[in-house]
Amino acid sequence: MEYEPVIGIEVHAQLLTKSKMFCGCNTDYMGAPPNTHVCPVCLGMPGVLPVINRKAVEYTIVTGLALNCQVPEATKWDRKNYHYPDLPKGYQISQYDLPLTRDGCLEIDFDGERKRIDIRRVHLEEDTAKLFHEEGYALVDFNRSGVPLLEIVSEPDLRSIEEVRQYVTKLRTILRYLGVSSGDMEKGAMRFEVNISLRPRGGEEYGTRVEIKNLNSFRAVLNSLKYEIERQKEILQSGGKIKQETMGWDGVRGVTVPQRSKEYAHDYRYFPEPDLPPLELKRKWIGSIKARLPELPDAKRERFIQEYGLSEYDAGILVADKEVADLFEGYVKVYPKGKSVVNWMSRELFPLLNEGRVTLEEFRSKWPPDYVHELLDSYDRGWITQSTASQVVTVITIGGDDRSPRCIIEEETLAQISDEERLGAIIEGVIEENPKPVADYLGGKEGALRYLVGQVMRATKGKANPGLVNELLIKNLKEMAQNM
């Protein structure tokens, strides 16, 4: 029997507020010594009272609106009770039955089609402290305790690993566009829980689901799901039953491992937080937040296609990172050939970024729009070859040369040799020095021409116009054949 996975995802994202959710502690704790960004409130001392962070509420509403959610007239806070050393109060302030926003959706592109993934709710809670498990004991750092944490819960609408990949990637992009979260998984700013069950393909009923908690990267999400799909398939195919349970992911061994048995909502004994009033969400305020929503990735992609004549693929690459999209727009304003600019960025910038040889900020500071204009204009007019253009990028970006591209091209005489007379002499030399490839070509081996073109390019240090070299070589060789 063929099975289909049914997957739902909870995404937790730390909000980029300056202070914590219910106290004034600074959230910028990365690299700080343990337990230095703390106060009686986030340490859960008796008798303290929480104060709601307005910015965190606003960021949650912005996110909900960007995900097409409804914002109710009122919201409230609830205590989620459990005992664990990362939770000093013995409960987490969260939201249970009246989340800040609900009933939204996110569209993903899959197999050339759009698919709608429903979002059940986007709510706000506080992060827990961080535990460090050592040999025989554990240490607690409360710097993270009380940092505002967004929770985005999808309906179980995802049907494949690829859909999951699209969904989490797009969600992260949107959070970064909105400026509400860094989405930096290496710093723990974005974490995931997934639930997965299998059912016969085309079926209606849901199978028994397994939850996988504490996933800290896209890779952990995708690999744990891949593993769990196979594990469940094997059990079902051999006539077994899936046990409803909570698992963790052992990334080193590449397996899911059972944790505690399934917790039901009532295990947490949710009840309204008596120390915080319900919040009335005034329509005027919601309206003003909505009016400030920035252009989101889908809209930007469409605009790039329309405005700059880009392909869907190119536009998609650019808008995947708002800073990259902004950089592109800065360049294209000065050099209005979208295709040239995006090709150049794909060829030069993206490999440097991927190899970690330059940061986007460094690149931006070294390549102001007028530099890009000078370089691309020289290349598009055929004054320099692609390899020269690449050299100039390296010299400026990595070599730290602060001359402008045009200055470098002129002073280093990098301009392409398009002078037929000069090239003609070099070509004659190459023909003379390479009798074997010449004979091969004349004998019908077309491939030998590529070797000869390469020799001319070498002799000119890559500065010859390759199209012209090709043309002149063929012309010379034809004449030789006629005179033979």
Q: Which CB sits closer to Zn ion, 24 or 277?
A: 24
Least distance in angstroms from the C-beta of 130 to Zn ion: 15
Least distance in angstroms from the C-beta of 317 to Zn ion: 41
Q: Which residue has the tokens 């040889």?
A: 357
Q: Which CB sits closer to Zn ion, 23 or 190?
A: 23
Least distance in angstroms from the C-beta of 148 to Zn ion: 12
Q: Which CB sits closer to Zn ion, 38 or 108?
A: 38
Segment interacting with Zn ion (CB under 5 A) among 2-10, 16-24, 170-178, 446-454: 16-24
Q: Which CB sits closer to Zn ion, 44 or 454?
A: 44
Coil, helix or strand for 181? Answer: coil
**Consecutive H or E run containing 124:** strand 113-126
How far, in Å, CA of 111 to CA of 195, rounded?
Answer: 23
Segment interacting with Zn ion (CB under 5 A) among 38-46, 208-216, 332-340, 429-437: 38-46
Amino acid making up residue 71: V
Least distance in angstroms from the C-beta of 37 to Zn ion: 7
Segment interacting with Zn ion (CB under 5 A) among 36-44, 79-87, 104-112, 425-433: 36-44
Least distance in angstroms from the C-beta of 44 to Zn ion: 10
DSSP-assigned letters across all residues of 423-444: HHHHHHHHHHH-HHHHHHHHTT
How far, in Å, CA of 260 to CA of 82, rounded?
Answer: 13
Segment interacting with Zn ion (CB under 5 A) among 41-49, 174-182, 207-215, 291-299: 41-49
Q: Which CB sits closer to Zn ion, 25 or 372?
A: 25
Q: Which CB sits closer to Zn ion, 23 or 215?
A: 23
Number of residues forming the site for Zn ion (CB under 5 A): 5
Segment 380-439, which members bind Zn ion (CB under 5 A)? none
Q: Is 93 in the site for Zn ion (CB under 5 A)?
A: no
Between the two ends of the chain, the Cα-to-Cα distance in Å is: 71
Q: Which CB sits closer to Zn ion, 23 or 464?
A: 23
Least distance in angstroms from the C-beta of 152 to Zn ion: 25
Coil, helix or strand for 258? Answer: strand
Distance (Å) of CA 271 to CA 94, 101, 225, 275, 276:
10, 19, 33, 12, 12
How far, in Å, CA of 318 to CA of 353, rounded?
Answer: 14
Among 16, 23, 56, 325, binds Zn ion (CB under 5 A): 23
Least distance in angstroms from the C-beta of 363 to Zn ion: 38
β-bridge pairing 148-154 and 245-250? unpaired
Least distance in angstroms from the C-beta of 43 to Zn ion: 7
Q: Is 42 in the site for Zn ion (CB under 5 A)?
A: yes
Segment interacting with Zn ion (CB under 5 A) among 24-32, 61-69, 134-142, 404-412: 24-32
Among 7, 25, 236, 414, binds Zn ion (CB under 5 A): 25
**Consecutive H or E run containing 65:** helix 54-66
DSSP 8-state assignment for residue 142:
G
Q: Is 360 in the site for Zn ion (CB under 5 A)?
A: no
Q: Which of 184, 149, 163, 188 is nearest to 63 (CA)?
A: 149
Least distance in angstroms from the C-beta of 20 to Zn ion: 5
Least distance in angstroms from the C-beta of 23 to Zn ion: 3
β-bridge pairing 138-141 and 148-154? unpaired
Distance (Å) of CA 358 to CA 344, 362, 467:
16, 6, 32
How far, in Å, CA of 67 to CA of 108, rounded?
Answer: 12
Asked whether the beta carbons of 86 and 141 are under 8 A apart, the reply is no
> Phi, psi at residue 116, to the nearest 5°?
-95, 125
Residue 363 CB neighbours (<10 A): 20
Least distance in angstroms from the C-beta of 269 to Zn ion: 25
Q: Which CB sits closer to Zn ion, 7 or 41?
A: 41
Q: Which CB sits closer to Zn ion, 92 or 256?
A: 92
Distance (Å) of CA 231 to CA 137, 159, 180, 242:
33, 16, 37, 10
Least distance in angstroms from the C-beta of 86 to Zn ion: 15
Distance (Å) of CA 391 to CA 208, 353, 387, 399, 415:
58, 17, 6, 10, 12
> Phi, psi at residue 283, to the nearest 5°?
-60, -35
Among 39, 255, 320, 449, binds Zn ion (CB under 5 A): 39
Segment interacting with Zn ion (CB under 5 A) among 19-27, 115-123, 226-234, 318-326: 19-27
Binding region for Zn ion (CB under 5 A): 23, 25, 39, 41-42
